[in-house]
Each structure stands twice: as structure tokens, then as C-alpha cells.
Structure 1
Amino acid sequence: MGAEHADAEGGDSDGDLAVRAERARAALVREIELNGAFDADPRWRDAFAAVPRHLFVPYYIVGVPGGYERLWGQDPDPRRRLRWLEGAYADQPLATRMRDGELISSSSQPSLMATMLVELGVEDGDRVLEVGAGTGYNAALLAHRLGPDAVTTVDLDPEITESARAHLAAAGYRAVVVTGDGARGCPERAPFDRIIVTCALRGVPFVWLEQCRPGARILAPLSTGIVVLTVRDAGFAQGRFLSTSAYFVALRGAGGGEAGSGWAGRLPRSLVRDEVFRFVLTLVGEYGGVDAREVLRVWEREGRPGRERFGVTLDQGRAYAWLDDPAGPHVWPLRGSA
């Protein structure tokens, strides 16, 4: 990244840190831009260029041989402070909170965040609900784009919402941060024009549709992909998956769950390692209850389709996954939505 190496003897001042952070942030934005993530809505480039990610990850956890190591911005060792800053502006997810050895919160990969925000398709005046407050960084990006009163972010864990509020304040941004079960939405702030979810789901809660305006868009991780649903009314939404893969910390509360297949042991390891097939196996096999061998037969017979050929329909309390056409021959009920 663009951060320069600190003088190990003299350390670095707050001014030096700010300069290095600005350079590193500019380098990250260029990297995301070169990948084409901003092409459909260049206004998001300005948000990523303005919002200081390092203020939302004052510390994070990295794996080291034999365990974990915490990097933080107040470390007395200038070399470790530099490692922290470089990591904060690397295009990679950062583990920010663990409990009893389990990851419960993270800062998502910035390029994936950019893709999701662009696909969210916000317009001026939209009201957005974010499910999964995390560090508050995504809420700050949304607030930069739409204004503070337009953005609500909800999380079940009061420690996470408290730190998100603190990070937003430190960076000079405001959003409405709510402690509650995101699977139930946030009815007191409804209706919403967009819902963006930054945690893994087993199904899309129908209550979200009730809190959306007609024509709203819901963008949510499901299996190991991201589905983009258009809401027709309180009882119906439908849409396809993006082609990109996505792995998130599971939503805690009603409706949460990590992607992982209990059917994997019945198939050759080479197939289970195939990222797209693992997506299909989790969506259709685990969430849909279809035998793994049948999932494999359909996937191979249809030419090993990618994520973008699959979609989801929510219709009057029932949820379906489908391949190519919701009225076609390959439609599977989903068991996770409620």
C-alpha cells in the first residue's frame, strides 16, 4: 500500500500519521477503482476517498503461528503502528472482535463493500437500513453519500453498537445506530428504500419487506453469494445473485447462520472445493433440503452455472431459490426465511 515506512528510532507524530493515512487511503481507492468497482456509480469513489477507515479499526486481530495478534493504532512501537495503518488500508477484511475464540465482528473487504454499495443503487433522498453495524465504516460511507438522517444501522450486540457510535463520532460522521435484532429490521425508522445486510443469513426475513417502500431494494449475503431483491410489496420480492463470492460473519438473532454444508462429506473433495459448487450446494442442498447428489446432477447437466444464474423469490410467506427462471423447471423451496 501507499504508507511509507516509519522511522523506527524517532517514531511518528499525529501529523505524520495523518499524512500516511491519507496516502494509504488514496492508494486503496486507486486499487478499487482499477478493479472497476466504481464504474456504475463514481460518486462512491468520493465516499471511499473521504472516509478514514483507520478511525473505524483502531485495533484489529491478525492470525499468527500458534494463535492471534492484535494490532492497534496506539502501540508504542512505531513499526507495529505502521503495520496497523498499512493493514487498515489493505483491500482485505479485518477481524475486529472475537469472543471465546469466535469471530463476532469484522470490517469487510473494501472492494466488496464498494461492489455492494454500487449494486445497492441508492438515489438522493433514499432511506437506508444497514443490518450489521460492524465498525460503523459502512454506515459512514452511506452517510457521506446520503446524509446522516438517511442512514440507520442496527446490531444485536451493545458493545458493537457502542463502538460503532464512537468510531462515527471520531471520524466526524453521524448515523442512527440502534441496538436490536437486525432480523426484525427497525420498524421505528421505517419505511426504507434500501436494505443492505453485512452478515450471513440462512434466509431473508419477510418482516423486512413490510418495512420497505414498493420498489425498494434488499441486498443480502445468502449462502456464499449476494442476492439483490426488488420489493414489489409487503408480500413479494424477487431477484438474482451477483456473480461475486461473499463470506460474512453470521447474523446473530433470528434468521442468522453461516454458510456451510452438512452434505459436503458425501461428495469428492475436488467438487466441494469448487467455490461456485459450494455456493449451489449450500443454497439448494443445505437451505433447500435437496440431496447433494441431486444438486450435483442438476449443476452439471445445466453446464455448471455460476451464481448469477440463480435467484430467490419471496412470495406471501414462502421462499424459493431458482435457476435461470422463477417459473422454470428448477425451483427449490428454502427453509431459512421466516
Structure 2
Amino acid sequence: MGAHALGNDLEALAVSARARLLRRIDASGALAGDPGWRAAFAAVPRHLFVPYYYVSGSAGYERCWGESPDPRIRERWVRGAYEDTPLATRLRDGELISSSSQPSLMALMLAALRVRPGDRVLEIGAGTGYNAALLSYRLGDANVTTVDMDPEITESARAHLAAAGYRPAVVTGDGARGVPERAPFDRIVATCQLASVPRAWIAQCRPGALILTPLATGLAALTVRDPEHAEGPFLHTPAYFVPLRGESRPEPETVALGGVPHRARESDLFRFLLALSRDTLEPQEAYALWEREGMPDRQRYGVTVGPERAWAWLDDPEGPYAWPLPGSERRTF
């Protein structure tokens, strides 16, 4: 029995679990900005995109899969596929390298794209293919491109999409370079963590396009002005993703928080500022700013990308609080 050929009982369970997931997404408010995505989440079967996934157990990660001979495990697999939670889908040497994102976060990001009929969308990070299927349902296969560096990931994503009846362009390549042969794009959405915004993305967008990308535990929504300029604020929500592979940058060092009060250390908003300014501000300086400015939420921050540099800022792109994004200065050789 394959994941695409469930028995009647499991198929009924999948249908009811999908409906329950949609109710939870609705209750979260994630689709308030664009209820048009409800039909996509109601129609696209998530279980086809996670024929197996890993759950954390006492002995590390344990595999939960739809091909198990144990009917209890198969039932657990179906139920888990429709929980509003991220699912670990690919491990390498015990390290998570790919996942299926939390559906309510996916819904919020899709709603934030503000898509229009006919928009061409590039997704950075193919994952399981589930997000590309949602995009294809709404915009049509011909308008959707998804890219990932790992050929195993793109191969499985392509198979999952085909099993669900979708055939967007699935490209194996470095997501930081975009997909120039499929440009221009009206929307770019990244489902992996980055340190900065690749200029290749901006160059592959039409003027007025929107780029939505995770940065420093937040989601930056940049409007493209021309092939060299983009700017925009962060959304209100926190976001944590697997890092984009293929970027040659050193791992950040652990930050010493001596002298920073406990309430700031435990604050997600302070941690966001710390991540955003880590190459510019010492933790104590970041704390002083955070206190002085009234513990600002994410929406007061933004990102600007220009031809020579890219920076994050608080309140005003040209104001006193601005920090260069890592590796953002244009190099000449």
C-alpha cells in the first residue's frame, strides 16, 4: 500500500484530519489577509508530501511512515501529517536538512504574498513540494517554480507533486542564484533561513514584485523598485527555518549575554534584535536600544537592499538605527 493508495479507513481519516487542520489554520487568523487560500489547503492532501517523517523520541529521531506494516503506525502517520506543526522529513548524520513547515505559518506567508491571477512565483527551498502544490492550485502549474540545491529533495518533491496531480517547474540549483531562465517573477517566497537578500532575486523580479524571506527569526516583505533596489518591513510573526544550503558563510559564534537582564534574554523580540544586529551591536548595546525604544515589535523593523549595500533598520531606512546585513556589501574582483 503506497501513501497515494490509502485504505478506505485511512482515506476517511485523512479527509477529516485535513478539515480539522483547516479549522485550526482559520482559528489562527493566518488566512485573514487572503481567505482565497482556504480552498488550496482544503484540496491539497499534505499526507502525499510526507510519505514518512521523523518524530523526536527517547532514542533520538524515529521514523513514522505510511508503508509501515503496523496499522497503528499508519494511523499515527496520517494524523501527524495533518497536525499544525513542522515535520522533520530529511536527516543527514543526525542533522535536519529538510522539513515540511508548520501549515499555519505557510498559510500566513502565502496570504502575505498578496498574489493576483497570473502572477509568476519562485519558491526558494522545495522541501516536500507541499507549498509548491498550494501555489499551483491557486495560480496554475505554469506560473510556479520551486528550486532546491539537493537533487534528492527535488526528485522527491517532483514525485510528490505528480502523485497529487501538480506539475510546476522543479529546478535543482542554488536558490541564492534564483532561476533566471524562468524569470521575470512577480513574487519570490523563501522557505529557508538566509543571512541576507540575494541580489539575483531582485534582478529577476518585475518592478512592484514582492519578496518574502526569513531573516533573523523574522519574515521580511520587500517590494522591488527596480533590478537593484528593494525595501520593506518585517511581518509581525516569528519564523524559524532550516538554513539555505550553498551559501558560503561561517557559522555565527555564540553570543555572550553577560550583563543582559533575564527578561530580555527570554524575550523573543530582544532575540530578534540581537540576531538582526549581531555583527554591529554588542548584546549590552542592543539591550540599551531595545529598552530605550520601548521593546519594539518586528513590524517596526525593515530591510533595504541597494546596488552597493543592504541593511536592516528600525523605524526609518535612513534613521539612526541601521545595521548592515552579513555579506551584503557588493564585492569587486
TM-score range, shorter chain: over 0.9
Residue 268 and residue 171 in structure 1: after superposition, are their counterparts in 2 closer, same or farther (change >3 A)?
same
1:323 and 2:314 are equivalent in the alignment: yes
Q: SS of the residue aligned with 1:321?
A: strand
Question: Which residue pairs with 2:255 in the alignment?
Answer: 263
1:274 and 2:267 are equivalent in the alignment: yes
Question: Which residue pairs with 2:108 in the alignment?
Answer: 115
Structure 1 position 254, deviation (Å): 2.2
1:213-228 paired onto structure 2 within 5 Å: 213-228=206-221
Deviations along 1:199-232, one digit per CA (max 9) or x if unpaired, are 0001111111100000000000001000000000
Deviations along 1:67-124, one digit per CA (max 9) or x if unpaired, are 1110001111111111111110000000000001110000000000000000011110
Instruction: Among all aligned residue pairs of Structure 1 and Structure 2, give the percentage whose two residues are the same amino acid.
Output: 63
Residue 255 and residue 197 in structure 1: after superposition, are their counterparts in 2 closer, same or farther (change >3 A)?
farther
Question: Which residue pairs with 1:176 in the alignment?
Answer: 169
Deviations along 1:139-168, one digit per CA (max 9) or x if unpaired, are 000000000000000000000000000000
1:304 alignment partner, one of 283, 291, 295: 295
Separation (CA, whole Å) in 2 of partners of 1:50 and 1:256 = 40
Separation (CA, whole Å) in 2 of partners of 1:249 and 1:264 = 23
Deviations along 1:166-204, one digit per CA (max 9) or x if unpaired, are 000111111100000000000010000000000000111
Structure 1 position 316, deviation (Å): 1.3
Separation (CA, whole Å) in 2 of partners of 1:148 and 1:268 = 51
Structure 1 position 292, deviation (Å): 1.6
1:292 alignment partner, one of 259, 278, 283: 283
1:93-104 paired onto structure 2 within 5 Å: 93-104=86-97
Structure 1 position 335, deviation (Å): 2.2
Separation (CA, whole Å) in 2 of partners of 1:93 and 1:172 = 23
RMSD over aligned CA atoms reads: 1.6
Question: Which residue pairs with 2:199 in the alignment?
Answer: 206
Question: Which residue pairs with 1:78 in the alignment?
Answer: 71
Q: SS of the residue aligned with 2:277?
A: helix
Separation (CA, whole Å) in 2 of partners of 1:163 and 1:244 = 30
TM-score (norm 2): 0.94
- Residues 176 and 198, structure 2, Cα contact 8 Å, conserved in 1: yes
Question: Which residue pairs with 1:7 in the alignment?
Answer: none
Structure 1 position 18, deviation (Å): 1.3
Question: Which residue pairs with 2:182 in the alignment?
Answer: 189
Q: SS of the residue aligned with 1:97?
A: strand
Separation (CA, whole Å) in 2 of partners of 1:256 and 1:171 = 37
Separation (CA, whole Å) in 2 of partners of 1:245 and 1:62 = 23
1:238 and 2:196 are equivalent in the alignment: no
Question: Which residue pairs with 2:126 in the alignment?
Answer: 133
Question: Which residue pairs with 2:21 in the alignment?
Answer: 28
Structure 1 position 289, deviation (Å): 2.5
Separation (CA, whole Å) in 2 of partners of 1:194 and 1:255 = 25
1:50 and 2:16 are equivalent in the alignment: no
Counterpart AA for 2:313: W
1:106 and 2:102 are equivalent in the alignment: no
- Residues 257 and 283, structure 2, Cα contact 8 Å, conserved in 1: no
Separation (CA, whole Å) in 2 of partners of 1:206 and 1:257 = 20
TM-score (norm 1): 0.92
Structure 1 position 271, deviation (Å): 2.6
Counterpart AA for 1:327: E
Q: What stretches of structure 1 of length at least 5 have no aligned partner? A: 1-11
Q: Which moved more, 1:141-150 or 1:60-69?
A: 60-69
Kindly tell me the number of residue pairs found equivalent between the two proteins: 324
- Residues 322 and 331, structure 1, Cα contact 8 Å, conserved in 2: yes
Q: What stretches of structure 2 of length at least 5 have no aligned partner? A: none
Counterpart AA for 2:23: R
Structure 1 position 328, deviation (Å): 1.6
Q: SS of the residue aligned with 1:130?
A: strand
- Residues 95 and 103, structure 1, Cα contact 8 Å, conserved in 2: yes
- Residues 126 and 194, structure 1, Cα contact 8 Å, conserved in 2: yes
Structure 1 position 56, deviation (Å): 0.1
